[in-house]
Chains A and B, each alone.
Chain A
C-alpha cells in the first residue's frame, strides 16, 4: 500500500544545545522515557533521562547477516537506522501472563499489565507503519486484546526521519519511509545544528508547549526534505509491487523454495526481529503446590516445528514449508487480511538472519525466475 498524502508538518526549530529540554519536557509531562542507546553493540530502547545517554555520532552497517555500529566524529544523535527490535515488544509483550486459574473451586481471573505512560524517542517510519499493522491485528473489533490495548494506549511516540538508509533498508519501496509520514505524537527531523520538531496530537502539543521553539527557516525545511529524499535514493533493495506479490500463492511449487530451504536454518530470528510478526503460543504454568496455574503467552514463530502441530502430525514438517508459510503470509496473505503487505521495509530479517537470506531477492526469484516445478 502506498502511503496516504503526506501529513502536514508545521515544524519549529530546536537547537541541538536545547535537545535536553525536549527530554525534560517529556519526563516532566509524566512519561517514562525510552530512548535509543548502545547496548551489547546494538541500538536498543532503554529508559533514559539525559541526552548524553543517546547514540551520538554513530552510524550503522546493516547487510545480510551483518550489523555493526560505527563511531564517527559527527554530533548527530540519530544517524543510525535501528536496532534488532522496533516497537513490538512494548505492546505485544514477548512473555506475559494472560490469566491465572485457581484449582478449587476452579476460577479464572484476567491479569492485566501494570503499565506506566511511556514515551519512545526516535521511532522510524517503518516501525510506525508496523505498529499500525499490529494495532489492526490485536485491536480489531471482534478480538480486541485488552493486554495489548493496555500498553498501546499508554505510548507517546516521538518519530524521526531517516537521513540515511542502511544497506538492508527498503522502506521506500513499501511506502513506509524513510520520512515519518505516519501519525506520531511528536515528529523530529535532525539537521546539523538541531532539530525540526512538530506535534501530531494533543499530548505531543502539550509537551512542545514547554519548549521555546524557533520558527523553522525555509532553508531548514529544504534540508529536511533533501535528507529524506537522499535516504530514499540510497536504498538498493526493493520489494515487488503488492499486486505482483499476491502471485506468490500461484507459485507454491516453485523450485526456488527448496533453494531457500537449503540455506535457511529455521532459527526464527527473522520472525523475532520482524516488527509485524504476531504469532504467539500459550502455556499453562502450574504453581509448585499444584493449586493454581497461570496462562502465559509468549512469542511463537512459524519456523518452530510445533507451530503447525496437530497432535503428532505437523502440517509444515520441513523448513521449506515453514519459509514458504512465512513469506507467502507476509507478502501475500496479509494483503487479504489487512489490505496491505505485512512488510514495512525495515530490513531487519535480512540483517539479523545468520545466513543472510534476503526476502526481497527470494521474492524476486520466486516471482520471476525459472519454471514453476522444475
Chain B
C-alpha cells in the first residue's frame, strides 16, 4: 500500500522571481519514473514540503502536457513560503500530489469562458487560462477579468497584453487604487462583469479570489442569467493532508482538498456566505 502521507523528493531546476514577493519554482521528481507518470489537471495542487519548515498546499501552474517538469508559483505569506523563497536551483523539496479536483475543462469545451480573478496569488486560474490559450480552438470566446487592490500589484502584465492581442479574447483589468500609467479601470473586478455581453447558455464562469469577491461575482452572474451549474470557483481552506482525512478543510460534507478545491456553485450554494462556515 502506498503511503499518501509520504513526500517524494523533487529537484528545483529553475527559480523565477515574478515580483518582490512572488516566485516560481520549476521542479522535477528526482525519480525519473515518478516524473514520467506524474499527471495533473489545471486547478489541482501539490503539498510541498520544505525541510524542517513544514508543508503547504500549492497549485500546479504549468501545462499538463509538460511532462519533464512542473511549476509552482508561490507568494510569501508565512513561515513556510518564506523559507521556500530562499531555495535555489539544485535544492530539493518534498512533494505529495497531485490532489483535488481541478477546473471543468471538459465541460468548458466548446463554450465561452469567463475567467474572473480577484487579487494576487490566484495561480489556480492562471493555470487554466494558459491551458485554454494553448488549446484555443477547443473553447469559444474568452473573457479574462483581473482585479487587484493597487495597480502596481499586477504581475505578468505582458502576459495579459499578449492574451488581449489574441482573437476572441477580451481582457479587462481593474484596480481599487490606480497610478497614472494604469490602462485598466478603477474599481472592483466584479463591476466589470456587468459590462460584458455574455451569451448565456454558452458561457461557463471560473472564479478565483477572496470569498467576498466570488460571492459578489456569483450574484452578478446569476443576475445575468448564468445558471448555477455553469459557475465554478476555487475555494481556499486550511488544507493539511490533501486526501480528505485530517478534517480541517471541510465545508459541510465536502472536503475542499479532495472534493475541490474547484467547486460548482450548485454544490455549495446553501453554505456559501454562511459566516464562519
Contacts and interface: CB of A to CB of B under 8 A. Distances in A.
A71 interface: no
A317 B275 CA distance: 10
A92 B141 CA distance: 51
Contact of B271 (A108, A144, A249): A249
A108 B7 contact: yes
In this complex, the interface size class of chain B, counting residues with CB under 8 Å from chain A, is 35 or more
B156 interface: no
Interface string B238-277: 1011011111101011000010000000000011001111
Interface stretch (B18-26, B52-60, B64-72, B143-151): B52-60
A333 B245 CA distance: 14
A137 B49 CA distance: 25
Main secondary structure of the interface of A (DSSP, over half): mixed
Contacts of A335: 253
Instruction: Name the residue in A329, A334, A337 with the highest tally of chain B Cβ atoms < 10 Å from its Cβ.
Output: A337
A19 interface: no
Interface residues of A, number: 58
Given A143-B244, A145-B245, A311-B78, A284 B252 contact: no
Given A106-B94, A311-B78, A282 B271 contact: no
Contacts of A109: 6
Contact of A290 (B8, B52, B277): B52
B243 A142 contact: yes
A298 to B, nearest CB: 11
B77 interface: yes
A17 interface: no
Contacts of B52: 101, 103, 284, 286, 290, 293
Nearest to A317: B276
A315 B243 contact: no
Contacts of A146: 1, 3
A371 interface: no
A318 interface: yes
Interface in A94-144: 98-99, 101, 103, 105-110, 137-138, 142-144
Given A284-B53, A311-B78, A335-B253, 15 more contacts: A98-B3, A109-B6, A110-B5, A144-B1, A145-B5, A252-B274, A279-B246, A280-B246, A282-B5, A286-B52, A307-B238, A324-B277, A329-B253, A334-B253, A337-B253
Q: Which 3 A-B pairs have the closest CB atoms?
A: A321-B276, A279-B247, A336-B253
Interface of B: 1, 3-9, 49, 51-55, 77-78, 92-94, 236-238, 240-241, 243-248, 250, 252-253, 258, 270-271, 274-277
29 contacts: A98-B5, A99-B3, A101-B49, A101-B94, A108-B6, A108-B8, A110-B3, A142-B243, A142-B244, A143-B4, A143-B258, A278-B245, A279-B246, A279-B247, A284-B54, A284-B55, A295-B55, A302-B247, A310-B236, A310-B237, A310-B238, A315-B238, A316-B276, A321-B275, A321-B277, A329-B253, A332-B252, A333-B253, A335-B253
